[in-house]
Amino acid sequence: MVTDKMAQALNEQINAELYSAYLYLAMASWAGTQGMRGASSWFFVQAREEMTHVWRFYDYISSQGRQVILDAVEKPPADFETMMKAFEETLAHEQKVTGLINDLVATARTENDNATAIFLQWYVTEQVEEEESVGEIIDQLKLAGDEGGGLLMIDRELGTRVFSMPADLAAGA
């Protein structure tokens, strides 16, 4: 069983992942109102993925015989101004989450909790992928431009992203 300190830190991360889902859901709706259907769909997929991050923590905390304690989720912004700013905010947010995951790994080490350190490796890898994919979108926006035909082209590509439920979560572990 995880220590009290570890359980609390894991619970706090559930709140951070819920906020991530909230933030991307807000971005999805904002992008939709800007006529950016592809970006809206991309952010909606991102929000759904964040919910799988919540469930993965939920499952782990439960498997450790601990209760999931939910806290209030902070209100996200509603206006993201431009597509470039929305993705820059996405990258900044993911970098912050990476820091939180690293803090959790550090806590697992100080608590001598090898099981949690191993569990967290999935998130370490996931954060590398998330930062990389958002960084690529920002690069494309810089190249093609944050308006007009270039933006429409990127929007179309963003719309091709699909959500797929991870097999271990789909099984209702």
Binding site for ligand FEO (CB under 6 A): 17, 20, 50, 53, 94, 97, 130
Q: How far is the CB of 98 from ligand FEO (least distance, A)?
A: 8
| Residue whose CB is less far from ligand FEO, 6 or 14 | 14
Cα 138 to Cα 40, 74, 94, 105, distances in angstroms: 16, 26, 13, 29
CB-based closest residue to ligand FEO: 53
| Residue whose CB is less far from ligand FEO, 18 or 83 | 18
Q: How far is the CB of 49 from ligand FEO (least distance, A)?
A: 7
Look-up: residue for tokens 């993965």?
A: 56
The answer to whether 149 and 158 have CB atoms below 8 angstroms apart is no
Q: How far is the CB of 121 from ligand FEO (least distance, A)?
A: 14
Burial-class residue 153 by CB neighbours within 10 Å (0-12, 13-18, 19+): middle
| Residue whose CB is less far from ligand FEO, 20 or 41 | 20
Q: How far is the CB of 38 from ligand FEO (least distance, A)?
A: 19
CA distance 77 to 116: 33
